[in-house]
Chain A
Amino acid sequence: MRLVRSEFLKIRTTNVWWLFALGAVGLLVVAFAANALNMHFVLQPPTEAGQTMDPEQAAVLKALADPVALTSYMVTSGQYFGLMFVMLLGIITVTNEFHHQTATTTFLATPHRTSVIVAKAVAGGIFGIVLWLVTTALTVPATAIFLESEGITPVLGDSEVIRAVLLNGLAYALWALIGIGIGVLIRSQIGATITAMVVYTVGTAAVSIIVNLLVTALDWDWLANVQWAMPSLASNLMTSGANLPGQPAYWVGALVLVGWAVVTGLVGTLLTRSRDIS
């Protein structure tokens, strides 16, 4: 417990946490506006677009227009960047120790290194959950206002929406652990943050595109499911609320994400335990 307090103090006594929180909230506003615009066209498709749409796409749009899916989608706005910042914070809690050579001090105070990693995971998870609370507190009223203005009654009390919101919180917590694992693997602060950001943004898009191209080229439909192994897409899947056509169920996303967090956390812990600190 005192280790968690120490790790939390480490986060709190530098500027990083509020810069990240500010960044996450700022990008939340942008993401919410973009999602709102997107949904506006889903709800009122321009007539000419409606004619050219293939039936599969129309089915997806129809499912999205369902109030439950719509509410989940809007309420979990900002997840994409929020998760990225939580991951970056997780990375930084580890790489800071090497960048500023404080690992020595940390492991002198606590020779049991596993406890240090656990404390970092808990502190990072708490940061993630606080960020989730803040973003949710902003998106809930904003979603209500937006949906009302579109003439749809928001279903914020729906069990699937609540599930999506809670799983979103889980995602925020787990991404800290993923970040910690990455930070242990790549000790260089700049190296770890840039690698993680590139994989998170470009990598996610690239996997999506490559998988879709392969599916079209080879006509292997099962291949489309490979993309859900990407932790960022899995997080999105987990919080999509209603099942959309052509997507696995939400719990597949949850399992994938938990799997990633466990693997990165374990690898990170084992590496930290055996590594010489000099």
Chain B
Amino acid sequence: MLPRLRARAVSPAREAVIGPGEDPAVVLAAEGAPQHSHRRRVEPEPVAGHDSQWWNRDGIAMAVLAPAKHTVRMGNVITDGEIVVSGLTKHYKQVKAVDGLSFTIKPGRVTGFLGPNGAGKTTTLRMILNLVSPNAGTATIGGSRYADLAEPLRAVGAVLEASSAHKGRTGRNHLRVICAAAGLPASRADEAMELVGLTPAAKRKFKGYSLGMRQRLGIAAAMLGDPRVLILDEPANGLDPEGIRWMRDLLQKLAGEGRTILVSSHLLSEMELLADDVVIIAAGRLVAQGPVAEVMGNAGNVGTVRVRTPHPDTLLGALDGVGSSRGDDGALVLTGVTAEQVGDAALRAGVAIHELVTERPDLERVFLDLTAGKEAIR
């Protein structure tokens, strides 16, 4: 007897079980080789009969994705949705699009997959999904190759390009075609339309959809099988700020339910808000992997304090052992000190302060540092 579709991790894994930085697997993976033996994983618990338990935390999803009544027959059941990429290589004529790439994506977290244009992100995702055949290496999802999954859409949902539907077919029929192929009831099409807020446009033809609506339809298609793993390629493309926020909330909720979320993007500020972990590649090779905070810390960027004052020397005199430099506009940039300490010191020294800001390194800075020198066009 195989577990039902609903049977999966109940615990909100993100902070409670594997907090950033304390999960040994993430730390070790960041150093290179995936280490399975030390991994602390979120064990899925069969919760037959508790269909709506984990949905109740999710206002949108609860209403619509609530109990799928079908039981699942899977040859290869995904018990945990870990994605393991190992030595993946793809040549296109003379170009090595992906070159010996290895990384691990953990369940219960949103992982950002970053890299400059042409770094091999899309090729990698397509190799994970058996759409492009690698020259070397393997990619597995929950221990199985994609092609070996008996019910792939119930295990993995993917959003690959915005415009992937027949122009003359309605959005709803597009989803129904997929339902038929995956052996899902046609009613799932309507439920998924509801989930992404496309119900009013369900009977409109795809050619009348805006870019944002197309992206939502793609997400609906990915959610049809209520998959444990979601893979999205540049999902923010074409979404307006509200749509981006909607998607961020949705993906974080889905990750909170223990799902594996892998999102490629070039929108770094968006990734900083969304992702728990990042995998950064450039020129087809791995550059960095790990929790966002750790990757940023490893890159040697620590926070600085920016302060503007008419008497910088007096202020520096009041602060001991602080690294300082002059900013472009004459402001002081201090390291190894907090804004509170600077403020207190200024009060003691009787120095007026015109500006006092803590500056954190952002992902963009780190990304540019890490990928610098890797030629984008090969």
Contact = CB atoms under 8 A, between A and B. Distances in A.
Given A2-B183, A111-B152, A277-B131, A105 B178 contact: yes
Contacts of B183: 2
A107 interface: yes
Contact of A109 (B160, B164, B173, B178): B178
Contact of A101 (B126, B161, B173): B161
B126 A277 contact: yes
A47 interface: no
B195 interface: no
B146 interface: yes
Interface string B156-188: 101011011111111001001110111100000
Contacts of A277: 126, 131-132
Contacts of A110: 152, 181
Contacts of B156: 108
A276 interface: yes
B10 to A, nearest CB: 28
A13 B177 contact: yes
A111 to B, nearest CB: 4
Which of A104, A109, A274, A278 has the largest number of chain B CB atoms within 10 A? A109
A64 B156 CA distance: 62
Q: How large is the interface on A (under 10, 10 to 19, 20 to 34, 35 or more residues)?
A: 20 to 34
B13 interface: no
A16 to B, nearest CB: 8
A101 B147 contact: no
A13 B170 contact: yes
B130 interface: yes
A111 B146 contact: yes
Contacts of B202: none
B49 to A, nearest CB: 28
A274 B146 CA distance: 16
A115 to B, nearest CB: 10
B230 to A, nearest CB: 12
B122 interface: yes
A184 to B, nearest CB: 16
A108 B169 contact: no
A62 interface: no
A6 B176 CA distance: 8
A108 B166 CA distance: 16
The 5 closest A-B pairs by CB, nearest first: A6-B181, A6-B180, A13-B173, A109-B181, A277-B131
Interface of A: 2-3, 5-6, 9-10, 13-15, 96, 100-102, 104-112, 274, 276-278
